[in-house]
Amino acid sequence: MLVSNFRRKEAIPNHFILILFALLAVLPILVLFFNSIKPFSEFGLNPLGPPSEIRLQNFPDAWIAGEYTKIFFNSAKLVFGSVLLCLAVSLLAGFSLAKLNPKGSTVIAIYLLVGISIPAQLYILPLFLLWKELSLLNTHVGLIIIYSALNAPFATFLIRSYMIRLPDELFDAAKLDGANTFQIFFRIALPLSWPVILTAGLIIGLAVWNEFLFALTFITDPNFKPMATILFSFQARFENNYALQSAAAIMMVAPIAVLFMLFQRRFISGLTSGGLKE
């Protein structure tokens, strides 16, 4: 059903172009992967190709040097919390901006858009002082609040631009049945929007997983540090030990890659069987 916008024979040139771009995206990362299983001594001689001898020891080395188990759970906690909080506030706002059009919604839209463009370097200092006053430094809750605020404007707009396309008739019908606004939100808007919920969740989760500026500043206790900060300090500590750095980077992306693949499967099936068609 999905493919009906092209005839079958057109699929071959499609594949050709897509493969070209896929290679551009993936080949550099393949080099990273090769580097992660290469013995350190081989780097000068064979920079780009696959290793002549596979050295998996880089992974346990990086695991131990980076205290991977601990930082993995710290990061997972942050991602989970931020996705939950951020999605909650963004869904409400996105729904309102898309379907309820409150008076003055333009002001809110402008405010949020301007908010996206403010560089973190500008407000990180006062924010730090505020967080100190509230005893939120060195806590995951503190970071979760920051991450939710950072990602909320984008998520709100993404959700809004999806919900605006949902047919108004559905809402009108529910309204006639006597449902109030909150019921309409939970019973109609939410179930119909879950592709965009997944997309937004994925993007928020990634941003949190990879974030290091705020994590470095707001978490000084090594027991609470998330993954990206470890990678950052890894590069400083093992400056040109590409093998170890690459192994750490691969381990950082692996959980996300697995999660993304799981997401995608449900994403596609959800779309094809979803209630979007009349």
Answer yes or no: are the C-beta atoms of 249 and 36 closer than 8 Å. yes
- Of 114, 173, 223, 266, which lies in the binding site for other proteins, with binding defined by CB under 8 A? 114
Q: Is 144 a residue that touches other proteins (CB under 8 A)?
A: no
Mark the segment that binds other proteins (CB under 8 A) among 56-64, 69-77, 118-126: 118-126
- Binding of other proteins at residue 75 (CB under 8 A)? no
- In contact, 260 and 202? CB cutoff 8 Å: yes
Judged by CB under 8 A, does residue 268 bind other proteins?
yes
Q: Return d(Cα 269, Cα 253) in angstroms, integer.
A: 25
Q: Which of 15, 54, 60, 73 binds other proteins (CB under 8 A)?
A: 15
Is position 190 an interface residue for other proteins (rule: CB under 8 A)? Answer: no
Exposure letters 78-92 (e unless 16+ CB within 10 A, then b): bbebbbebbbeebbe
Instruction: Indicate which single residue of 84, 222, 223, 269 sits in contact with other proteins (rule: CB under 8 A).
Output: 222
Listed ranges 52-60, 66-74, 75-83, 169-177: which one lies at the site for other proteins (CB under 8 A): 169-177
Of 196, 213, 206, the closest CA to residue 146 belongs to 213
Interface with other proteins includes 77 (CB under 8 A)? no
Shortest distance in whole angstroms from residue 266 CB to other proteins = 12
Please give the C-alpha separations between residue 52 and each of 38, 45, 166, 250, in angstroms, as whole numbers: 8, 11, 55, 19
User: What are the phi and psi torsion angles at 254 (to 5°)?
Assistant: -55, -50
Which token pair is 90? Answer: 């963004």
Binding-site size, other proteins (CB under 8 A): 127
Q: Is 9 in the site for other proteins (CB under 8 A)?
A: no
Q: Is 6 in the site for other proteins (CB under 8 A)?
A: yes
- 236: tokens are 């400083």
